Structure 1
Amino acid sequence: MKIFKTLFLFLIIIIVTIMSLSYTKIHANSQVIPKKQIKTAVLLFTFDDPYISLVRKGLEEIQNKNTSSVNFTFYDGKRNQEIQNTLLDSVLQSDYDLLLLNLVSLDQGTIESVIYKAKQKNIPIILFNTVPFEISPIKSYNKALVISTDAIQSGILQGNLVVNKWNSSKNDIDRNGDNILQYIMLTGPENITVTIARSLYSISTINQSGIKTQEILSKTCNWDEKCAEDSIKLLFLSYGKNIEAIISNNDAMAIGAINALQSYGYNKGDNSTYIPVFGIDGIPEAIDLIDRGIMSGTVSQDPNQTAEALYVVGMNLANNLNPLQGTNYKFDETGVTINMPYHEYIPRKQ
């Protein structure tokens, strides 16, 4: 009997020991293994563009909240594609896990070169803030995609702003009484999708509402405030009495136009010396001018939403997941482009 009890106790000890080891093993395997920090190179076309600066700020705020998940390093292309190419080559020699690229130039050669280089290094890449004309190079690499703003929507909404302003203040705007809106268009870089879509759809929306338009002149200023200011100062000397509106592809150029108008005493609060100016982006300075009645309107896209999309989709790519996993984003008809929406900015009551 004593021997039986001894054997029984010994058997219990063995069973308990095995169960304990199994428990430890199971729980060790069920622990969440921390994902590595994703080193991300962010190449911007310039650091001094107001909207892009806000996207950068949004990414920095995301990094501060997710230090174990991501580290962003920012590079300034200084509005020069050769400088950006040199930066990209340097980045590709480092150990980055993800590339976020806001290109200076969107010509086919640049797109093909950038995608080829990323593909050779097997690094996921997201082009953002505009859609290239030629997307076949992007489709050729399964770790490449585009996150852009909806340029067509922005043009339509801007056109609606002009229509509403004309309908509510036609007597003030139609200075020569010919029932035609004479305007100057300030545009982004030539031959890129955003410039073309914003310019085309803003005017077509105005025309479709029944308002006739006449373009006095179109000036390319590549998103730059100072270029717009200098251009409008010069153009005002020749066309000042004929300008009934200034329609700008972005807020920075619109602000430049306002600075120029104010140098001639316009847009300082007197309706008799006021030329409507419209922008796109919804940057804080433009919003302030609109709230104060100095600028007529803007179409806003939340840069924090763009930053969030870059982060979430980028983390999926870097971790070899479906880029849309766990998101509500959708690709457009290209199959590789996510478009971020715009909305009309509604002025605050003073």
Structure 2
Amino acid sequence: MKRMRVLAAALLAALMAVLPGCGRTSATPTVRVGVAVYDQTDTFISAITQHLEQMFQEEEQRLGVKINLSVADGRSSQSVQNEQVDRFLDLGCDVICVNIVNRTAAAVIVDKARAAEVPVIFFNREPVEEDLFRWEGAYYVGSPGAEAGRLQGMLVVDAWRADPAALDRSGDGVLQYVMLEGEPGHQDALLRTEHSIQTLVTGGVQVEKLESAAANWQRSQAAERMRQWLEAVEEPIEAVFANNDDMALGAIDACLEAGMTVEELPFIVGVDATAPALEAVRAGTLQGTVRNDARGQAESIVALSRALMGFEDVSEAVELTDGKYVWLSYTAVTAADVLSQAKPVGR
């Protein structure tokens, strides 16, 4: 892209200006990076943001440049986030990183970035494929949602096979479960929901869905849903699937408030392996989670940003699928995994 070539040339000239023997000095070259997140109160997104802030500071020292990093919170509003992207472009950002509010609305941001010739890296919330392919300067960093669902399902399948009576409290040979979903229409929510249960069925576990509802990734909303179900559902809730850890923790909150002991809790599983979730696994209230690699995502975003700003070739910085996607793997986390660590696993 023309802007990338111009930026690379400018950086090279600035760096040459400070080399010994050049007969002159110059200020440290400056690059600008804008990061727009859908909601900074989200525990996982907050972790990614913290990693990005730390890693871009480290890049300053390594590259010998000044990196002006701006982080904006979209507060779950796509219109607010669009305005933030406009502001980043007005500020002259060299790369924009977007954790998009509405994955179906990426075309607007891609077109804005293309018009300004500023590369855009979407992360963690995958845009529609057609939108990502609108321009060569648009990329995505994240993990495949179906894999998270499969691993979450296997946590329950393995527990069922090891001791079915521990989960099947009604003794009917069927696992009665409830599902706490992320926001409606979100790809990860759909895939995690579908593949977690599909994995149980494929694994030979008979299941019955008692209830399901969207809690929009929020702990408080999940707790309220779980309170309602505990009062309304006649059958014992034997398992709780939550599309992320915050919602799993909300379910735990409601159960403990209802007077359940740790031993009486349903088999509850989440996704993300956030620090609070790992503490819950250690305490025995959360039976397992699936690690969504916040640090790995941040590392890939920084590496791709570095390449897009002209410091190295994109092909050397990251491994791209279809020239667009940087995929990171999920891993399952059980109590045995957490307890084997001398310190909290963290992210």
- TM-score w.r.t. structure 2 length? 0.85
1:136 and 2:130 aligned: yes
Distance 2:31 2:163 in 1: 53
Deviates more, 1:286-295 or 1:168-177: 168-177
1:211-260 superposed Cα distances (whole Å, 9 cap, x missing partner): 01111121111111111011111111011643111001100110111101
Instruction: Note the residue ranges of structure 1 that are not aligned, 5 or more in a row.
Output: 1-25
Deviation at 1:35, TM superposition (A): 8.6
Instruction: Note the residue ranges of structure 2 that are not aligned, 5 or more in a row.
Output: 1-18, 341-347
2:328 pairs with 318, 330, 340, which one? 340
Distance 1:180 1:335 in 2: 45
1:274 pairs with 248, 258, 265, which one? 265
1:305 and 2:299 aligned: no
Distance 2:161 2:310 in 1: 52
1:58 and 2:51 aligned: yes
1:51-101 superposed Cα distances (whole Å, 9 cap, x missing partner): 001101101111232233533210011112122122222222211111000
1:184-217 superposed Cα distances (whole Å, 9 cap, x missing partner): 1111122222111111111111111100111112
1:230 and 2:220 aligned: no
Matches within 5 A, 1:1-350: 36-67=29-60, 68=65, 70-107=67-104, 110-132=105-127, 134-239=128-233, 241-266=235-260, 268-269=261-262, 271=263, 273-319=264-310, 322-327=313-318, 329-331=319-321, 334-347=322-335, 348-349=338-339
Paired amino acid for 1:120: A
Q: Name the CA shift for 1:28/1:140 in 2 (closer, same or farther; >3 Å).
A: farther
Aligned to 1:22: none
SS for the counterpart of 1:223 is coil
Whether the 8 Å CA contact 2:281–2:334 is kept in 1: the answer is no
Whether the 8 Å CA contact 1:155–1:201 is kept in 2: the answer is yes
Distance 2:79 2:217 in 1: 19
Deviation at 1:320, TM superposition (A): 7.8
SS for the counterpart of 1:280 is coil
Distance 1:258 1:323 in 2: 43
Larger radius of gyration: 1
Paired amino acid for 1:345: V
User: Number of residue pairs matched?
Assistant: 313
Distance 2:90 2:217 in 1: 31
Distance 1:236 1:155 in 2: 24
1:115-163 superposed Cα distances (whole Å, 9 cap, x missing partner): 111111111100100222x322221211111111121211111111011
Distance 1:34 1:177 in 2: 73
Q: Name the CA shift for 1:35/1:204 in 2 (closer, same or farther; >3 Å).
A: farther
Distance 1:278 1:39 in 2: 39
Please tell me the root mean square deviation across aligned C-alpha atoms, in Å: 2.1
Whether the 8 Å CA contact 1:146–1:337 is kept in 2: the answer is yes
SS for the counterpart of 1:345 is strand
Paired amino acid for 2:194: L
Paired amino acid for 1:80: S
Deviation at 1:321, TM superposition (A): 5.4
1:264-288 superposed Cα distances (whole Å, 9 cap, x missing partner): 122x43x2x1211100000011001
1:289-320 superposed Cα distances (whole Å, 9 cap, x missing partner): 10111111000122111111000011111228
Structure 1 vs Structure 2: percent identity of aligned residues? 25
Q: Name the CA shift for 1:81/1:248 in 2 (closer, same or farther; >3 Å).
A: same
Whether the 8 Å CA contact 1:38–1:315 is kept in 2: the answer is no
